Structure 1
Amino acid sequence: MTSDHDKMWRRCAHLGRVLLPLVDQEPWRQARRHENLRAWGIDTALGERLVETFAALAAHAVAVDASAPAAEFDTLTLSAVADTATGKRDFELLAGLPDTFADERDEMAVKVFRLYAYKGDQTSLQLFRLSTEVRHALNVLAQRSPLPFPTCGDIFRQAAEADLSR
């Protein structure tokens, strides 16, 4: 049986996975992001995986702070997730995570994020830069939305319409 906490993490991880493909519906955005990552000395594949993970961690932190059950995840606003991405310290985003992850990819990504968060030095700067990429991506999606306060559920609907379910 899957716990509510595990369900919540899966929703957060799904948000992270669809974020960049939705933003990249305008192809120039991906090229700009790749250019930024290279300029910051971050491998593009690793950087994009960390952006996904960062988005998932920020969404998870919002849900945990709000004591929201998994069934209410879709009601979290993109603005709250964007604010958390840049408003919380890296290590604060790691609080309250599940002990184990059903998806090995998620577990590895969180471990890499954890290493970056606790290493300090240049990696702290890289995580700060990645947090701004997450915030930017969420803001782009919010600006595209016809709704005044788009939610995570709205992003999932857009992803389904764009056939990005994975």
Structure 2
Amino acid sequence: MTSDHDMLWRRCALLGRVLLPLVDQEPWRQARRRETLSARGIDTAAGERLIEIFAALAAHAVALDSSVSAAGFDDLPLKVVADAATGKRDYELLAGLPETFADDRDGQAVNIFRLYTYKGGQYSHSLLLLSRELRYALNVLAERSPTPSRTCGDIFRRATEAGLPQ
């Protein structure tokens, strides 16, 4: 049986996976992001995967701080997740993670994030840039939302409407 904590992580990881495809519905946004990553010396595929896991980590940290269960995750405001992406220290985002991940890609991405966090220097600078890209992506989605609540659940509904895998 899957624990609520594991289910919460899965919801957070799903948010990370659908985030960029939803933002990229306007193709120029993807081109801008990739140009920015490349100009900063960040491999595009690796940078985009780190943005995905960054989103999951920020959402997870906020959910834990707010004592939100997996069932209540959809009500989490995007603004709070965006604030955590740039407002929390990188190592704070790593607190309270599951011991194992159902998806090995998540475990690998978390380990890369962890390595970047503790290596410092240019790696910390890369995480700063990625946190800004994440905040920008979350704000873009929040502004597109037809509802004033702009929650994680709104993102999941839009991902379903766009036919993204869940």
TM-score, normalised by the number of residues in structure 1: 0.99
Q: CA deviation at 1:165?
A: 1.6
Q: Deviations over 1:11-33 (max 9, x none)?
A: 00000000000000000000000
The residue type equivalent to 1:64 in the other structure is L
The residue type equivalent to 1:105 in the other structure is R
**For 1:56-67, what aligned pairs fall within 5 Å after superposition?**
56-67=56-67
**1:156 has 2:144 as partner:** no
2:100 corresponds to which residue? 100
2:124 corresponds to which residue? 124
1:112 corresponds to which residue? 112
Q: CA deviation at 1:63?
A: 0.2
1:137 corresponds to which residue? 137
Alignment coverage as a number of residue pairs: 166
Structure 1 distance, partners of 2:146, 2:134, is: 21
Ranges in structure 2 where 5+ consecutive residues have no aligned partner: none
**1:78 has 2:65 as partner:** no
Q: Which runs of 4+ in 1 moved over 6 A?
A: none
Q: Give SS of 2:99's match.
A: coil
Structure 1 distance, partners of 2:40, 2:9, is: 29
TM-score, normalised by the number of residues in structure 2: 0.99
Q: CA deviation at 1:149?
A: 2.4
**1:23 has 2:23 as partner:** yes
* CA RMSD, Structure 1 to Structure 2 (Å): 0.6
Structure 2 distance, partners of 1:98, 1:82, is: 22
Q: Give SS of 1:100's match.
A: coil
Structure 1 distance, partners of 2:20, 2:26, is: 11
The residue type equivalent to 1:126 in the other structure is S
Structure 1 distance, partners of 2:55, 2:41, is: 20
The residue type equivalent to 1:155 in the other structure is I
2:88 corresponds to which residue? 88
